[in-house]
């Protein structure tokens, strides 16, 4: 007998919201388990920064714990504190490092593991451990080619030699971040792999982590002891690999059906002139809701990829966006559905099982990460799960 489906609601009242964001926690858990299988012997953590990529850490984290995840990565200590409430027994790493001596005490109180990015942060964490009577756990982040955060190779070598003598730090993870994992054949991947192998050798016996979502599908050489999937958990296609289950579905409410004549124009700037009599569905979603203006059907001079713009999905068909997306409203050409096929109150899928997240992002000239984390709070949210999750 199938498990009973359970729904949990959040955000504005569904009757009053301009759209619906449905988060399928069952799909999230299936993605975690699939990635764990690919990772093999490597431990699989969950990256839940930016409020679990915009989907709500308060629901996502417990679902991942149910699926077997016991290690999480966040960007900020405030995020870590929120995750700690949802996962009391988990190990939680803070990628952004330490925000000064006073902040370090908060990390220790919440049992957050800072990712040390500088020698100054290392000194602060040493002092916190010394004051507490024992070194607190930390991760050591070494830059191997990203030039974002992390110790240089020279700094990492000096820190490793120093710590071998003093034992002032207790590193529980050594890590780096891939810059080009989305491009499987990019030479930077192999260069970073070799550099990270040298880093690992400096910290003998400390678990190592290099692979993000796309890094996982680069192969076992990149897995080391722990992998850190993020976007793949939420339905993105890491490195172009398909097979992740869609987790988030957005649908906008239709608030008006219009009939326009050939020769008329649509939306700001009059950037599209209708070539036929057209049925227009006006949907209650716009760039204030995360529906990027670059998805507009026309009038986006900065978009070089395609003039076509984005699409919606309704009643089994794709329908193109007409003209510029506005702050609160988007127009769709629904002529092919026929007169009377749609009514006020119906909804149009913006991305989900019929228009995949990566496809919608590509139509906007961006990436799935940005599209997900841009989703506003004006949509009603519904979390779907099973009563009896393993």
**Nearest CA to 314 among 293, 295, 333?**
333
CB 184 within 8 A of CB 170: no
What mean pLDDT do residues 214-224 have? 96
Strand partners, 349: 251, 313
DSSP SS3 for 137: strand
| pLDDT of 306 strictly over 60 | no
- Please state, in angstroms and rounded to a whole number, the distance separating the CA atoms of residues 106 and 124: 13
Binding site residue list = 148, 327
Per the CATH hierarchy, to which homologous superfamily does domain 248-386 belong?
Answer: Lyase, Ornithine Decarboxylase; Chain A, domain 1 (2.40.37.10)
Beta 311-314 vs 278-283: how paired, if at all?
unpaired
Strand partners, 253: 347
- Please state, in angstroms and rounded to a whole number, the distance separating the CA atoms of residues 119 and 157: 11
Binding site residue list for substrate = 148, 327
Strand partners, 332: 281, 321
Cα dist from 37 to 32, 231, 288, 307, whole Å: 9, 17, 38, 40
- Please state, in angstroms and rounded to a whole number, the distance separating the CA atoms of residues 323 and 8: 36
Q: What is the pLDDT of residue 260?
A: 98
What mean pLDDT do residues 206-211 have? 98
| pLDDT of 1 strictly over 50 | no
Q: Which residue would you say has higher pLDDT here, 297 or 68? A: 68
- pLDDT band, very low/low/confident/very high, at 298 (cuts 50, 70, 90): confident
Q: What is the pLDDT of residue 349?
A: 98
- Please state, in angstroms and rounded to a whole number, the distance separating the CA atoms of residues 275 and 278: 8
- Please state, in angstroms and rounded to a whole number, the distance separating the CA atoms of residues 229 and 215: 9
Please report, to the nearest 10 degrees, the dihedral formed by the alpha carbons of residues 288, 47, 122, 209 taken in order: -140
In 228-341, where do the E strands start and end? Answer: 248-260, 265-266, 272-273, 278-283, 311-314, 317-322, 330-333
Please count the other Cβ atoms lying within 10 Å of the Cβ belonging to residue 64: 28
Structure token digits, residue 101: 């001596």
| pLDDT of 170 strictly over 70 | yes
Kindly list the catalytic residues: 49, 268
Element (H, E) at 72: strand 71-74
pTM (2 d.p.): 0.92
Structure token digits, residue 152: 């240089």
Percentage of the chain exceeding pLDDT 70: 95
Structure token digits, residue 164: 């071998």
CB 266 within 8 A of CB 280: yes
- Please state, in angstroms and rounded to a whole number, the distance separating the CA atoms of residues 113 and 136: 8
Structure token digits, residue 110: 């919440």
Q: What is the pLDDT of residue 308?
A: 74
**Nearest CA to 206 among 256, 262, 159, 260?**
159
Q: What is the pLDDT of residue 98?
A: 93
- Please state, in angstroms and rounded to a whole number, the distance separating the CA atoms of residues 59 and 383: 8
Q: What is the pLDDT of residue 389?
A: 46
3-state helix, strand, coil in the chain (%, to 5): 35, 25, 40
Q: Tokens 């680069």 identify what position? A: 218
| pLDDT of 3 strictly over 90 | no
CATH architecture for segment(s) 25-237: Alpha-Beta Barrel (3.20)
Ordered by start, the domain boundaries in the chain are 25-237, 248-386
Do you know the residue count of the chain? 390
Q: What is the pLDDT of residue 238?
A: 82
The model's pLDDT over 103-147, given as tens digits with 9 standing for 90+, comes to 998 999 999 999 999 999 999 999 988 777 788 999 999 999 999
Calculate the average pLDDT of the chain: 93
What mean pLDDT do residues 248-277 have? 97
Q: Tokens 């034992």 identify what position? A: 167
């Amino acid at each position: 007998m199938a498990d009973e489906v359970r729904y949990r609601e959040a955000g504005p009242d569904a009757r009053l919201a301009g759209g619906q964001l449905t988060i399928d926690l069952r799909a999230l858990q299936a993605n975690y388990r699939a990635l764990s299988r690919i990772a093999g012997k490597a431990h699989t953590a969950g990256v839940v920064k930016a409020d679990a990529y915009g989907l709500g850490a308060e629901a996502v984290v417990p679902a991942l714990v149910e699926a077997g995840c016991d290690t999480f990565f966040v960007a900020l200590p405030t995020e870590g504190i929120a995750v700690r409430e949802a996962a009391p027994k988990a190990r939680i790493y803070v990628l952004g490092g330490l925000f000064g001596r006073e902040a370090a005490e908060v990390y220790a109180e919440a049992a957050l593991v800072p990712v040390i990015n500088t020698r100054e942060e290392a000194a602060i964490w040493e002092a916190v451990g010394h004051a507490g009577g024992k070194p607190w756990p930390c991760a050591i982040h070494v830059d191997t080619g990203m030039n974002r955060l992390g110790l240089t190779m020279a700094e990492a070598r000096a820190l490793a030699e120093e710590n071998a003598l003093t034992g002032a730090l207790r590193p529980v993870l050594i890590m780096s971040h891939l810059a080009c994992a989305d491009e499987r054949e990019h030479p930077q991947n192999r260069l970073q792999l070799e550099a990270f192998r040298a880093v690992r050798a400096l910290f003998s016996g400390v678990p190592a982590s290099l692979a993000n979502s796309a890094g996982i599908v680069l192969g076992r050489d990149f897995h080391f002891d722990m992998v850190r999937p993020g976007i793949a958990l939420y339905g993105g296609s890491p490195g172009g690999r398909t097979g992740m289950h869609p987790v988030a579905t957005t649908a906008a409410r239709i608030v008006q059906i219009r009939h326009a004549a050939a020769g008329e124009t649509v939306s700001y700037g009059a950037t599209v002139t209708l070539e036929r009599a057209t049925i227009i569905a006006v949907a209650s979603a716009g760039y204030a809701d995360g529906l990027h203006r670059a998805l507009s059907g026309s009038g986006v001079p900065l978009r070089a990829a395609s003039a076509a713009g984005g699409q919606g999905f309704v009643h089994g068909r794709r329908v193109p966006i007409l003209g510029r997306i506005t702050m609160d409203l988007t127009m769709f050409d629904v002529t092919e559905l026929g007169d009377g096929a749609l009514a006020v109150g119906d909804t149009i899928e913006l991305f989900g099982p019929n228009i995949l997240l990566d496809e919608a992002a590509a139509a906007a000239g961006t990436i799935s990460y940005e599209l997900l984390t841009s989703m506003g709070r004006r949509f009603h949210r519904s979390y779907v799960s099973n009563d009896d999750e393993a």
